[in-house]
Structure 1
């Protein structure tokens, strides 16, 4: 797992049971998975703070971050345990409790991540063709190839409880396609920089 060292250190705060007891850890897991699946927090974070609220908040932020990332990557239980035990140094009892909550909420987490954008589609694949218009009744010479793009997106359908594929089809010129590719690369770069700051 490629997480920043600061994130691993923040998760590692749960090693010390005098700072984050087993009971507090369990309540924070309940809150974490409630929030990530679109429900209300079960426990007040301020109510869980005994003497070090800043440490608890730092751990909670890292817990939310890694939980969402595990769901996004569809990480296996073995990968999660390896990360929590080896990279973060969590005791086996806490690591197993995390994977138990993660497995129980996995479908709801994936659903929440799929539908996080609301009206915006989650693009998973693309198909394309090139057409070249040699001559038409409206123009004597062509302006280059026409690209026929089909973006395949997926969304979780709450009625059928399954992922649903949708097609987004459009035509564009070579210049329009270059503009689209540039904007997509720019968006990916911005998302990467935001993710690096969070992890």
Structure 2
């Protein structure tokens, strides 16, 4: 199956069960790997990260969250010979026509190739400020999880968390844009919440709930 040119609504859901054992987390993002490890803990899965296996980071050439999650998971599964789980996620700001969206990480890129998330959050804030004091600060996070097997079979699951952007950034418990995102119904940013509180409502946790129901 392939979703490179479509959305989740186009994807056939021929569910394959995931057996206990090793699973590659196809990410070099330490915060993301930590979250996924904790979510997988109760299910007899033995997570190993792409970084621990010295797997290369693929170029994220997709134009959708689904496409990028798929290519990361498929590469990791192919190179490792193990099932692989990849997440592609991002912040979509209503007033910025959904940006940074699928290019969320690109907004954090620095000339030396590292990622500076304070820089990325500042870019979002500067663009909103340029639109005026009354501009909407509504935003949402999207997470697409792609689970791939070495034979090329892939399953996809999508989660979303809606909220408001705040400035200046608050908290140091999260990663990425977490310090400027206050989810609906909460007073704290994702970066101010402890891990359990965030996982109860986050976009990644929502996608993971769907994965658990379908394949575990």
Shorter-chain TM range is under 0.3
More helix by share: 1
State the TM-score, normalizing by the size of structure 1: 0.25
Computing the radius of gyration from Cα coordinates, the structure with the larger value is 1
